[in-house]
Amino acid sequence: MPITEYLVRNAALYGDEVSLIEINPELREKSESSWRELSLVETDPHAGYRKTMTWRAFDEKANQFANLLLTRGVRRGEKVAILLMNCIEWLPIYFGALKAGVIVVPLNFRYSSEEILYCLGLADVSVLLFGPEFVERVAAIRDKIPAVRLRFFHASHDGEICPDFAEDYDILAPACSTVPPDIVLKDEEDAAIYFSSGTTGFPKAILHPHASLVSACVTEQAHHGQTRDDIFLCIPPLYHTGAKMHWFGSLLAGSRAVLLRGIRPEWIVETAARERVTIVWLLVPWAQDILVAIDSGAVKLSDYDLTRWRLMHIGAQPVPPSLVKHWKEIFPAHGYDTNYGLSESTGPGSVHLGVENIHKVGAIGKAGHGWRTKIVDENGAPVKPGDVGELAVAGPGVMRCYYKDPEATAAVLKGEWLHTGDMAREDEDGFIFLVDRKKDVIITGGENLYPVQIEDFLHGFEKIKDVAVIGLADHRLGEIAAAIIEIKPGMTCTEEEVMAFCAELPRYKRPRRIIFAPVPRNPTGKIEKPKLRRMYAGGSVVEAQITQ
């Protein structure tokens, strides 16, 4: 059955119970009361920083958005893009689009105007719903997106004004019927497009059917055993498959989730305590920051009741074993799991470690629930145990294709097997360890950076002759971007000048290290990035400090 039916079931069985809670600590800090002074009640009298939604309201809001789309002539199979920061309306909007029989297209909130434009065109989007944080970016391309015939604006807070090139979702949707639309969804029909990218930096549109979304629910609950008593703390962005599809386990269980808008260690710990959280999914930098805050005394665990917190798990990037060891020293009662997945394989754990296998920390684990794995050579033949090859996965959540890109699809889909582009080995116990990335994508704090994009930008600096961007290991972020820059003959340049030039880039894309050196290229003109990694992985470099 389609994933929307789980929402309908929860509304029928648990209608008056809370499904979602949104916490916005920045708004809380503007009030006079601290969280510790507030009683744990479902309706919070303090100015909007804690919002709640029942399962019945969730389902009704989804129906209203579905009916809004249908009454405006949106047809089955059209594409509806969501460009919102995490908020309590995000998931009802997502499910409303699914209920209308359209294909939902979540967009990365870090995208620039040009990236938004590219993705809207690639996915054939005809409806865009965006929040106040994106008004300027959408305004910059408003005349370039005629195919996007409907544009809706959703305000995060009271008083935010809908721009003149959009319609007000917050006025239109509540006026629509809460009756479910008369649309029967099928497991095999298309449901969602998520964006990924290769080493070129150009996003690929990953198309999934409804069956993929349902498989994520089943996989996640099988891995982490969510029950009606669990409370899931969701911090990562909901446009990403990982965050949303880990929440799918809560959807299947009919249990509540907390959406935290902020990543400061004290906010995470306070939220876990006050909301009686049982499961938290973190990225490596956030876990590192929590440990540092506890070690330094900035966060005092004695101030919080965290006895219900039973599981911490991490995904999106390799996890340093030292982090897990330190975490278990501080939180010995916590279960721990590592999850490996891709947007092409629907997120939550096509490979996972398993809470019972903490002795294998450093591995990404074994095939997840309902999944199969193999490690193959360049000809697609399985390698011997212990040898390095490319990791391939097969299972119910493999994408249908890269939308409108049959060549890229054929490169990674070999029958039922998805070739991940990650190099790995399998130990004598069958546990898989990642070795290196086949591609040059840099993963920093769980976000992908694409070297070619940064290189192309830096080539616009008049003093630069050549540039290469590589990833270097970083204790907190997993990797950071380092730019090897070759200056034009007769010119001089400083790291301060380079960083000033990079101010036009989004902060997360700016190189964190600047290395002035020749850029080696092979006879065919390709940059020798493996050589650069070997040269600078442990060597001294000129570092430009970036404040987050």
Instruction: Please write the tens of the pLDDT for every residue from 67-121.
Output: 999 999 999 999 999 999 999 999 999 999 999 999 999 999 988 899 999 999 9
Q: Is 343 part of a structural domain of the chain?
A: no
Check pLDDT > 60 for residue 346.
yes
Considering Cα of 403, then 405, then 406, then 407, what sign does the dihedral take?
Answer: negative
Token pair listed for 123? 């996915």
Domain end residue (candidates: 383, 415, 437): 437
Supply the range of the domain harboring residue 65: 4-330
**Do residue 164 and residue 236 come from a single domain?**
yes
**Do residue 94 and residue 138 come from a single domain?**
yes
Question: Which is more confident, 416 or 196?
Answer: 416
Q: Is 350 part of a structural domain of the chain?
A: no
**Do residue 55 and residue 134 come from a single domain?**
yes
pLDDT by residue (tens digit) across 9-41? 999 999 999 999 999 998 876 654 444 444 333
Give me the pLDDT at residue 489, please.
79
Check pLDDT > 70 for residue 511.
yes
Using the CB atoms, write b or e for 495-507: b if 16+ within 10 Å: beebbebbeebee
Domain end residue (candidates: 419, 437, 455): 437
Query: Which CATH number do you get for residue 387?
Result: 2.30.38.10
Q: What DSSP designation does 242 have? A: H
Q: Is 496 part of a structural domain of the chain?
A: yes
Q: Is 394 part of a structural domain of the chain?
A: yes
**Do residue 170 and residue 265 come from a single domain?**
yes
Query: Which CATH number do you get for residue 448?
Result: 3.30.300.30
Q: Is 341 part of a structural domain of the chain?
A: no
Q: Is 347 part of a structural domain of the chain?
A: no
Q: What whole-number percentage of the chain has pLDDT above 70? A: 91
Q: What is the 3-state secondary structure (H, E, C) of 141-196?
A: CHHHCCCCCEEEECCCCCCCCCCCCCEEHHHHHHHCCCCCCCCCCCCCCEEEEEEE
Token pair listed for 471? 């990833």
* Closest of 345, 299, 327 to residue 337, by C-alpha: 327
Q: Report d(CA 45, CA 39) in Å as an integer.
A: 10
Phi, psi at 474, each rounded to 5°: -140, 135
**Which residues lie below 8 Å from residue 496, measured CB to CB, with a gap of 6+?**
544
Domain end residue (candidates: 437, 469, 484): 437
**Do residue 423 and residue 459 come from a single domain?**
no
**Do residue 318 and residue 400 come from a single domain?**
no
Q: Are 139 and 163 spatial neighbours (Cβ–Cβ below 8 Å)?
A: yes
Q: Report d(CA 457, CA 96) in Å as an integer.
A: 39
**Do residue 196 and residue 317 come from a single domain?**
yes
Q: Report d(CA 463, CA 230) in Å as an integer.
A: 56
Indicate the pTM of the whole model. Answer: 0.82
pLDDT by residue (tens digit) across 186-219? 999 999 999 985 434 578 999 999 999 999 999 9
Q: Is 353 part of a structural domain of the chain?
A: no
**Do residue 105 and residue 230 come from a single domain?**
yes
Q: What DSSP designation does 508 have? A: G
Considering Cα of 234, then 240, then 242, then 247, what sign does the dihedral take?
Answer: positive
Q: For the chain, what is the domain count?
A: 3
**Do residue 318 and residue 452 come from a single domain?**
no
pLDDT by residue (tens digit) across 249-276? 999 999 999 999 998 999 999 999 999 9
Check pLDDT > 80 for residue 415.
yes
Q: Report d(CA 536, CA 41) in Å as an integer.
A: 54
CB count in 10 Å sphere of residue 467: 22
Check pLDDT > 90 for residue 378.
no
**Do residue 426 and residue 460 come from a single domain?**
no
Q: Is 512 part of a structural domain of the chain?
A: yes
**Do residue 117 and residue 9 come from a single domain?**
yes
**Do residue 417 and residue 277 come from a single domain?**
no
Token pair listed for 49? 């920083």
